[in-house]
């Protein structure tokens, strides 16, 4: 009996090991479409030299997601987590600020920019506001985050915010 057990143990030890399945890779144009936002940034209203925030944007989760840490000089900060979803072919972002609640944005790369849209806050009449954020890499290496809001579910848009992220030195 002991001989049979030893024979089985030796046979198992001599069998070639089966390699684990490869981990999914978050590489390629779709997964890297928002990489231009990764960095340590000083944030300014577009057209102003008055800095309003710092923002740290980093690749996390084995390069499969992008995390923002928003650190404004006034008000409460927050964080977002953005990722490409190969199942839907789009990008999804979850924003959680310094007040209760969260916001989900969906979208994707459009002509080299990242466009994300989601319902965030309420308008003067109490209607949910649809917010569209467009992130664009500028020629000088900065990133513009231009926000528009719509109280009529995207039929008309108005300017909501306009920031420029400049690389920290």
Closest CA to 82 of 101, 96, 99, 100: 96
Q: What is the pLDDT of residue 142?
A: 98
C-alpha neighbours within 13 Å on the C-beta side of residue 69: 6
Four-way CATH pick for 26-167: 2.60.34.10, 2.40.160.40, 2.130.10.10, 2.40.128.20: 2.40.128.20
Q: Where are the domains positioned within the chain?
A: 26-167
Tens-place pLDDT, residues 3-48: 655 455 555 555 567 777 766 689 999 999 999 999 999 999 999 9
Say which range, 15-19, 53-57, 165-169, has the weakest mean pLDDT.
15-19
Sorting pLDDT into bands at 50, 70 and 90, what band is 157?
Answer: very high
DSSP string covering 84-138, please? EETTTTEEEEEEEESSS--EEEEEEEETTEEEEEEEEEE-TTSPEEEEEEEEEE-
Residue 40 near residue 56, CB atoms below 8 Å: yes
Residue 157 near residue 150, CB atoms below 8 Å: yes
Q: Which residue has the higher pLDDT, 122 or 61?
A: 61
Tens-place pLDDT, residues 88-147: 999 999 999 988 789 999 999 999 999 999 999 887 788 889 999 999 999 999 999 999
- Sign of the C-alpha dihedral, residues 58, 94, 63, 132? negative
d(CA 154, CA 148): 10
């Amino acid at each position: 009996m002991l001989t049979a057990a030893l024979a089985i143990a030796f046979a198992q030890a001599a069998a070639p090991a089966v390699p684990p399945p490869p981990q999914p890779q978050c590489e390629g144009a779709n997964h890297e479409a928002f990489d231009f936002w990764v960095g340590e940034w000083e944030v300014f209203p577009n057209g102003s030299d008055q800095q309003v925030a710092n923002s740290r944007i980093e690749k996390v989760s084995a390069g499969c997601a992008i995390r923002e840490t928003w650190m404004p000089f006034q008000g409460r900060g927050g964080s977002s987590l953005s990722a490409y979803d190969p199942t839907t072919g789009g990008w999804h972002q979850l924003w959680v600020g310094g007040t209760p609640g969260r916001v989900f944005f969906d979208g994707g790369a459009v002509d080299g920019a990242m466009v994300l849209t989601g319902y965030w806050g309420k308008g003067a009449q109490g209607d949910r506001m649809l917010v569209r954020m467009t992130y664009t890499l500028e020629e000088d290496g900065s990133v513009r985050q231009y926000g528009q809001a719509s109280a009529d579910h995207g039929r008309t848009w108005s300017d909501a915010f306009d920031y420029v992220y400049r690389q920290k030195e």
